């Protein structure tokens, strides 16, 4: 049985396995079976702006209803907006149709439980078993009088935006902001929220057509945002990814902050204001070495998790932390929401800028970023890295050269056919050189024509 779930749900090219109409119906049926309760099961479905969203939404809804569960459609809405609406509507689960920062031709499916949290590995494994084990779910359609119904939520995006509004400062007057919505799920929510601020706001990329999501825009492509921040002499720029759970921040000089820098800025502010519960910050093993040093200098305990925002969340819950995130831009403020939220992260950073009355470039100096290079190598197989003697040999060689002055991390992407090579070193040239050495070996060993 092929493993469907990666680090952030099920993902692939739309209309190709596993994101086919036939497979999506099975996923919907399995989800309804897994999340069923003693009464009438309710499952919320939200999506981003991809052209394939309608097809996947219809398939999921069909599968869910065939099992006697009801569907509540939220339409186009950020991923964290689905989590919010699960809680507000007391639903049994939420399903998000999105491939995050990927191109429009990809899509994916991920889940929230009835508490608004992403699922554990164990829960995903159980759903995967149900998808392929017809004796447990596929052949047990409900009787015709119990078939589920499909309802549209009335104002899911506005209610989500109102929820965010309640977590922000009363006034951001005097701050000039530029926002890039990636032609994605955050377009309407961000427009509803930021146009009501007492700040000067310009919003870019808010005209989705099904195919332009993340295209030369959004958190992965902030070039136009940077130009506009400089042109408008803005105080800050924000870019969201396609599903609105990730943030890229740009300072008033047009310099892009890493997710780790944003985390360090927020951690420093929360600690100073005695709001950093248990004095702990969670980040992943991909975090820049500079973050750990900065947090140590602040007197904050730094705990690492696996890669993926749900692993950050799991560690936050275990350690009772309120702040965590990834260098990629997923930020979790657990005292405000149950999942990573790009818009909420922007609001929190705006609070810091306003209260500290300092430019973002100055605030970001709390952390020195170590030169870091990440190379993504396309692979057509994913054997355990530590079983390949050639790859392990070059990794150990580079590690022996870097010693305590650098770091190497090699791992597979959980959502794409890629191997990620990350090297930190005293200089950018060193990081580039050693990352390329490892990448060349990985490419030679893991991408052979079949």
Question: What is the per-residue pLDDT across 221-232, written as a single tens digit (0 to 9) for each?
Answer: 999 999 999 999
Please indicate, yes or no, whether residues 308 and 195 belong to a single structural domain of this protein. no
Residue-level pLDDT at 139: 58
Give φ, ψ of 108 to 5 degrees.
-160, 175
Residue-level pLDDT at 137: 53
pLDDT of residue 21 exceeding 60? yes
**Rounded to an integer, what distance in angstroms lies between the CA atom of residue 101 and that of residue 214?**
6
Last residue of a domain, one of 155, 188, 221: 155
Q: Higher-confidence residue: 39 or 252?
A: 252
The share of the chain scoring above pLDDT 70, in percent, equals: 98
- Determine, yes or no, domain membership for 69: yes
Please indicate, yes or no, whether residues 129 and 44 belong to a single structural domain of this protein. yes
Please indicate, yes or no, whether residues 320 and 441 belong to a single structural domain of this protein. no
Residue-level pLDDT at 341: 98
- Determine, yes or no, domain membership for 163: no
Please indicate, yes or no, whether residues 288 and 239 belong to a single structural domain of this protein. no
Residue-level pLDDT at 446: 87
What is the residue-wise DSSP string for 34-99? HH--SS--EEEEEE-S-TTHHHHHHHHHHHHHHTT-EEEEEEE--HHHHHHHHHHTT-SEEEEE--
Write down the mean pLDDT value for the chain.
94
Please indicate whether residue 52 is annotated as part of the active site.
no
pLDDT in tens, 327-355: 999 999 999 999 999 999 999 999 999 99
Please indicate, yes or no, whether residues 33 and 101 belong to a single structural domain of this protein. yes
Specify the DSSP element, H or E, that contains 392: helix 389-402
Please indicate, yes or no, whether residues 31 and 104 belong to a single structural domain of this protein. yes
Q: Which of 205, 199, 216 is closest to 183 using CA atoms?
A: 205
Q: Which of 269, 185, 245 is closest to 9 using CA atoms?
A: 245
Q: What average pLDDT score do residues 102-128 get?
A: 97
Residue-level pLDDT at 167: 83
pLDDT in tens, 229-245: 999 999 999 999 999 99
Residue-level pLDDT at 305: 96
Q: How many domains does the chain have?
A: 4
What residues make up the domain containing 420?
372-446
- Determine, yes or no, domain membership for 226: yes
Omega within 30 of 0 (cis) for the link into 18: yes
Q: What average pLDDT score do residues 7-18 get?
A: 95
pLDDT in tens, 55-94: 999 999 999 999 999 999 999 999 999 999 999 999 999 9
Residue-level pLDDT at 381: 87
Residue-level pLDDT at 138: 56
- Determine, yes or no, domain membership for 160: no
Last residue of a domain, one of 236, 255, 274: 255
Residue-level pLDDT at 450: 39
Last residue of a domain, one of 101, 123, 155: 155
Q: Residue 413 — very low, low, confident or very high, per pLDDT cuts 50/70/90? A: confident
Catalytic position from the list 100, 137, 328, 345: 100
Please indicate, yes or no, whether residues 148 and 184 belong to a single structural domain of this protein. no
Q: Higher-confidence residue: 386 or 414?
A: 386
- Determine, yes or no, domain membership for 267: yes
As beta bridge partners, residue 421 has 375, 410
For residues 44 and 113, is the Cβ–Cβ distance under 8 A?
Answer: no
Residue-level pLDDT at 448: 57
pTM, full prediction: 0.91
Please indicate, yes or no, whether residues 75 and 214 belong to a single structural domain of this protein. no
Please indicate, yes or no, whether residues 234 and 193 belong to a single structural domain of this protein. yes
- Determine, yes or no, domain membership for 348: no
Please indicate, yes or no, whether residues 242 and 112 belong to a single structural domain of this protein. no
Q: What average pLDDT score do residues 256-272 get?
A: 98
């Amino acid at each position: 049985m092929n493993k469907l779930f990666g680090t952030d749900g099920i993902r692939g090219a739309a209309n190709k396995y596993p994101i086919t109409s036939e497979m999506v119906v099975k996923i919907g049926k399995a989800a309804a079976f897994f999340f069923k309760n003693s009464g009438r099961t309710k499952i919320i479905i939200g999506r981003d702006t991809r052209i394939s969203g309608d097809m996947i939404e219809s398939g999921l809804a069909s599968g869910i209803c065939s099992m006697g569960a009801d569907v509540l459609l939220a339409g186009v809405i950020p991923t964290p907006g689905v989590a919010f609406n699960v809680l507000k509507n007391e639903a049994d689960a939420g399903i998000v149709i999105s491939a995050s920062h990927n191109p429009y031709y990809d899509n994916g499916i991920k889940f929230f439980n009835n508490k608004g949290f992403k699922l554990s590995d164990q829960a995903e494994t159980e759903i995967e078993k149900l998808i392929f084990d017809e004796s447990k779910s596929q052949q047990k359609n409900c009787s015709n009088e119990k078939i589920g119904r499909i309802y549209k939520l009335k104002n899911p995006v506005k209610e989500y935006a109102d929820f965010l509004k309640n977590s922000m400062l009363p006034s951001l007057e005097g701050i000039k902001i530029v926002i890039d919505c990636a032609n994605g799920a955050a377009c309407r929510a961000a427009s509803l929220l930021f146009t009501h601020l007492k700040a000067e706001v310009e919003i870019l990329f808010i005209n989705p057509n099904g195919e332009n999501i993340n295209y030369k825009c959004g958190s992965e492509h902030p070039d136009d945002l940077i130009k506009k921040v400089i042109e408008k002499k803005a105080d800050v720029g924000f870019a969201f990814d396609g599903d609105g759970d990730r943030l890229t921040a740009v300072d008033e000089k047009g310099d892009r902050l890493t997710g780790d820098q944003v985390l360090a800025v927020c951690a420093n502010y929360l600690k100073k204001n005695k709001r950093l519960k248990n004095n702990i910050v969670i980040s992943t093993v991909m975090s820049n070495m500079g973050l750990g040093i900065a947090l140590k200098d602040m007197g904050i305990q730094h705990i690492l998790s696996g890669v993926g925002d749900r692993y950050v969340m799991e560690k936050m819950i275990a350690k009772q932390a309120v702040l965590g995130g990834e260098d990629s831009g997923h930020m979790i403020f657990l005292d405000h929401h149950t999942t990573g939220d790009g818009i909420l992260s922007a609001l929190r950073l705006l609070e810091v800028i306003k209260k500290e009355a300092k430019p973002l470039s100055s605030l970001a100096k709390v952390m020195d970023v170590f030169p870091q290079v990440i190379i993504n190598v396309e692979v057509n197989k994913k054997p355990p890295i530590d079983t390949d003697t050639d790859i392990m040999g070059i990794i150990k060689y580079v590690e022996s050269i870097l010693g305590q002055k650098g770091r190497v991390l090699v791992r597979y992407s959980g959502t794409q056919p890629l191997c990620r090579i990350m090297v930190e070193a005293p200089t950018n040239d060193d990081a580039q050189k050693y990352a390329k050495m490892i990448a060349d070996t990985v490419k030679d060993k893991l991408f052979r024509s079949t």
